[in-house]
Structure 1
Amino acid sequence: MAAISSAETPLPVGEVSRLIGGWIDRLGAVWVEGQITQLSRRPGAGVVFLTLRDPSHDISVGVTCYRQVFDAVADVVTEGARVVVLAKPEWYAPRGQLSLRATEIRPVGVGELLARLEQLKKRLAGEGLFAADRKKPLPFLPRLIGLVCGRASAAERDVLENARHRWPAVRFEVRNVPVQGVHAVPQVVQAVQELDAHEDVEVIVVARGGGSVEDLLPFSDEQLVRAVAACRTPVVSAIGHEPDTPLLDYVADLRASTPTDAAKKVVPDVGEELERVEQLRARARRCVVGFVEREERGLAQALARPSIQDPHRMVDERADRLDALLARSRRTLGHLLDRADSELGHTRARVVALSPAATLKRGYAVLQRADGHVVRDPGEVTPGEPLRARVAEGEFPVRVGTDTGTDTGTDVRGDV
Structure 2
Amino acid sequence: MTESPAPHSLPATAGETSAERPWPVRHLSPKIGDFISRLPAVWVEGQVLNVKRWRHLVFLTLRDTDENMSISATLPAREAEALGIDLVDGTRVVIHAKPEWWTRSGSLQLAGREVRQVGLGDLLARLEALKEALAREGLFDLDRKVPLPFIPRTVGLVCATQGDAEHDVVENATRRWPGVHFEIRRVTVQGPRAVPETTAAIRELDSVPDIDVIVVARGGGSFEDLLPFSDEALVRAAAACETPLVSAIGHEKDSPLLDLVADYRASTPTDAGKRIVPDAAAEAQGLARARRTMAAAVERHVAREMLGLRTMRSRPVLARPEAMLAPYAEAVARGRERSTRAMTGVLDRAGASTRELTASLRALSPLSTLERGFAVVRTPEGGVIRDAAQVSAGDALRIRVARGDIEATAR
TM-score, normalised to structure 2, is: 0.52
**Separation (CA, whole Å) in 2 of partners of 1:243 and 1:299:** 67
1:36-75 to structure 2, matched below 5 A, reads: none
RMSD: 2.4
Report the Cα offset of residue 179 of structure 1.
0.6
Report the Cα offset of residue 319 of structure 1.
2.1
Report the Cα offset of residue 330 of structure 1.
9.9
Give the secondary structure class of the aligned counterpart of 2:152: coil
1:10-409 to structure 2, matched below 5 A, reads: 109-320=119-330, 322-323=332-333
**Separation (CA, whole Å) in 1 of partners of 2:254 and 2:179:** 31
Partner amino acid for 2:184? V
After superposition, the C-alpha distances for 1:170-198 in whole angstroms (9 at most, x for unaligned) are 11001111110111110001111110111
| Alignment size in residue pairs | 229
8 Å contact from structure 2 (residues 190, 225) kept in 1: yes
Partner amino acid for 1:306? P
Structure 2 unaligned spans of 5+: 1-117, 343-411
Partner amino acid for 1:262? A
After superposition, the C-alpha distances for 1:279-300 in whole angstroms (9 at most, x for unaligned) are 2212211221122111111111
Structure 1 unaligned spans of 5+: 1-107, 334-416
Report the Cα offset of residue 109 of structure 1.
2.7
**Separation (CA, whole Å) in 1 of partners of 2:209 and 2:336:** 87
**Separation (CA, whole Å) in 1 of partners of 2:313 and 2:201:** 73
Report the Cα offset of residue 241 of structure 1.
3.0
After superposition, the C-alpha distances for 1:348-371 in whole angstroms (9 at most, x for unaligned) are xxxxxxxxxxxxxxxxxxxxxxxx
**Separation (CA, whole Å) in 2 of partners of 1:117 and 1:179:** 18
**Separation (CA, whole Å) in 2 of partners of 1:186 and 1:180:** 11
**Separation (CA, whole Å) in 2 of partners of 1:179 and 1:196:** 19
8 Å contact from structure 2 (residues 158, 185) kept in 1: yes
Report the Cα offset of residue 111 of structure 1.
2.1
Q: What does residue 15 of structure 1 align with?
A: none
TM-score, normalised to structure 1, is: 0.51
Higher relative contact order (CA 8 A, sep 6+): 2
8 Å contact from structure 2 (residues 250, 266) kept in 1: no
Over alpha carbons, which structure has the higher Rg?
1
Partner amino acid for 1:141? I
After superposition, the C-alpha distances for 1:302-331 in whole angstroms (9 at most, x for unaligned) are 211222221112222432355468779999
After superposition, the C-alpha distances for 1:16-48 in whole angstroms (9 at most, x for unaligned) are xxxxxxxxxxxxxxxxxxxxxxxxxxxxxxxxx
**Separation (CA, whole Å) in 2 of partners of 1:121 and 1:314:** 84
**Separation (CA, whole Å) in 2 of partners of 1:152 and 1:288:** 55
**Separation (CA, whole Å) in 1 of partners of 2:162 and 2:189:** 12
Report the Cα offset of residue 233 of structure 1.
0.7
After superposition, the C-alpha distances for 1:234-270 in whole angstroms (9 at most, x for unaligned) are 1100112332310001111111111111111111000
